[in-house]
Amino acid sequence: MMADPPASHPAGAAARPPWILFVIIFSQFAGTSLWFAGNAVLGDLQQQWGLADDALGYVTSAVQLGFITGTLTFAFFAISDRFSPRKVFFACSLLGALANLGIYLLPDGFGSLLAFRFLTGFFLAGVYPVGMKIASGWYQRDLGNAIGFLAGALVLGTAFPHLLKGMGQTFPWEGVTMSVSGIAVLGGVSMLLLVPDGPHLTKGTKFDPAALAVIFRSRLFRASAFGYFGHMWELYAFWAFVPVVLAAHLAQGAGDALNIPFWAFCVIAAGFFGCAGGGLVSLRTGSAPVAFAQLLSSGVCCAISPLLFFAPTPVFLAFLVFWGIVVVGDSPQFSTLNAQNAPKALVGSALTIANCIGFAISIVSIQLLNELAAIVPPAYLFVPLAIGPVLGLIYLMPLLRPLEAQRS
């Protein structure tokens, strides 16, 4: 999904305050609530500002492009190594919140909306990946468990603006925007004041762009990275267009009135259970089987989505919630696999490059659905997303073999 976690370090349990993980999880949730804040209020902005129907894809892609740019910038200048990661997290939470507020403070049409969403994505590169680094400073052997909860926090944060919007028509887009920014600030302050730098915090290796020519020579890293790319083809496009498909389902007379923002929240937030549950199962089976099973499940959902689109509304909602669980539940597992299989001397650079390629792929799939939404019946809108899981599953196959067979 988003930035892959840093590799864990060997051993030594260090005493840590009991609130550390809770505060990191809350701060991650609060900061990442900025991600889809523009999506949640876009319907209102389209009405008030006269934005085109295809604005959704461009607004979502602007955040993704900002995140890619921010990730490369932070890695190239080693920002979280030069400065305390919790201070970086705090600063980026504040700046991201301010960028999110830009559409309210300096409204100037579609161009300004895209610019402020880009800036929001840029500063998110100092929130989610840096939060992972902060967690690695406190967790070693149990880092994998912490990463599962942090990925779940991102999922809940991504969904949260839809919940705010779904609280009622009396809660205007301005209120949603200010609330999300306020929560992001609170998360940054909490991280700064309550989470000191951990005893296991280490500096990463210097980012090496030349690693691009080396990392994909590793057969096992190709397997995990290309599986991750297939996952990213589907994930954000699905999240972005869930409200669109819900609205189309109701428009064809399939059920009673529905609170679309609330159910968009439910579908996206359900991914928390996929992340947490997948992490627990992976303790017994390893990451590759869990990633394969969840990617296969979400691919099947893509393929059968036209059939379920015309099902009764309760059945369709249950289907989407299940899809929401499996579409992102493999994210922590791909993070683990990429970290395990990257060339040891280039782990940091390899993960940065893989993340940026993954998010670039998500822009392509988002824009594809943006174009198809105008010409394809909504029941079939999600079918092209199956391309990602199919290719991802093919590439992931070598990692399902016993360890000795993988290395041969």
Q: Would you say residue 303 lies in a domain?
A: yes
End-to-end, the C-alpha distance of the chain in Å comes to: 29
Q: State residue 274's pLDDT score.
A: 93
Indicate whether 168 and 113 sit together in one domain: yes
Among 142, 171, 196, residue at a domain's last position:
196
Indicate whether 214 and 184 sit together in one domain: no
Among 196, 218, 233, residue at a domain's last position:
196
* Tokens 């600030």, residue located: 185
Task: Give the burial class of 351: count Cβ atoms within 10 A of its Cβ; 0-12 exposed, 13-18 middle, 19 or more buried.
Answer: buried
Q: Copy the structure tokens of residue 286.
A: 């390893």
What pLDDT digit, counting tens, does each position of 6-25 carry? 444 444 444 778 888 899 99
Q: How many other CB atoms are found less than 10 A from the CB of residue 163?
A: 19
Q: Would you say residue 108 lies in a domain?
A: yes
What pLDDT digit, counting tens, does each position of 38-87 carry? 999 999 999 999 999 899 999 999 999 999 999 999 998 889 888 999 99
Higher pLDDT, 211 or 397: 397
- Please state, rounded to an integer, the average pLDDT across all residues of the chain: 89
| Cα Rg of the chain (Å, integer) | 20
- In eight-state DSSP terms, residue 8 is P
Residue 4 has pLDDT above 60, yes or no: no
194, amino acid identity: L
Q: Would you say residue 168 lies in a domain?
A: yes
Question: What domain range includes position 350?
Answer: 208-408
Domain count, the chain: 2
List the CATH number of the domain containing 154.
Answer: 1.20.1250.20
Indicate whether 192 and 217 sit together in one domain: no
Q: State residue 78's pLDDT score.
A: 87
pLDDT confidence band for 405 (50 / 70 / 90): low
Q: Copy the structure tokens of residue 129.
A: 């990946």
Indicate whether 157 and 240 sit together in one domain: no
Rounded CA-CA distance 103/112 in Å is 7
Indicate whether 149 and 246 sit together in one domain: no
Q: Would you say residue 379 lies in a domain?
A: yes
Q: Would you say residue 202 lies in a domain?
A: no
Section 382-395 average pLDDT: 97
The answer to whether the beta carbons of residues 54 and 153 sit under 8 Å apart is: no
How large a percentage of the chain has pLDDT more than 70?
91
Residue 404 has pLDDT above 80, yes or no: no
Residue 203 has pLDDT above 80, yes or no: no
Among 135, 168, 196, residue at a domain's last position:
196
3-state secondary structure of 127: coil
Q: Copy the structure tokens of residue 75.
A: 């890695």
Indicate whether 185 and 298 sit together in one domain: no
What pLDDT digit, counting tens, does each position of 252-292 carry? 765 567 899 999 999 999 999 999 888 888 888 889 999 99
Q: Give the range with max mean pLDDT: 117-121, 330-334, 335-339.
A: 117-121
Q: Would you say residue 203 lies in a domain?
A: no
Higher pLDDT, 151 or 371: 371
3-state secondary structure of 110: helix
Which residues fall within 8 angstroms of residue 66, CB to CB, at 6 or more apart?
117, 118, 119, 120, 121, 122, 123, 124, 125
Q: State residue 168's pLDDT score.
A: 67
Rounded CA-CA distance 399/334 in Å is 11
Indicate whether 270 and 127 sit together in one domain: no
pLDDT confidence band for 408 (50 / 70 / 90): low
Section 206-212 average pLDDT: 79
Q: State residue 269's pLDDT score.
A: 97
Indicate whether 146 and 239 sit together in one domain: no
Which residues fall within 8 angstroms of residue 4, CB to CB, at 6 or more apart?
132, 334, 335, 338, 339, 351, 354, 355
Section 122-147 average pLDDT: 82
Q: Would you say residue 295 lies in a domain?
A: yes
Indicate whether 189 and 212 sit together in one domain: no
Looking at 20-34, 191-205, 393-407, which range is the least confident one? 393-407
Q: Copy the structure tokens of residue 341.
A: 């299989």
pLDDT confidence band for 143 (50 / 70 / 90): low
Indicate yes or no: pTM above 0.85: yes
Q: State residue 177's pLDDT score.
A: 95
Q: Would you say residue 28 lies in a domain?
A: yes
Indicate whether 192 and 267 sit together in one domain: no
The answer to whether the beta carbons of residues 207 and 354 sit under 8 Å apart is: no
Indicate whether 343 and 260 sit together in one domain: yes
Looking at 121-130, 145-154, 278-287, which range is the least confident one? 145-154
Indicate whether 151 and 232 sit together in one domain: no
Residue 117 has pLDDT above 50, yes or no: yes
Please state at what angle helix 271-285 crosses helix 331-341, rounded to 10 degrees.
40
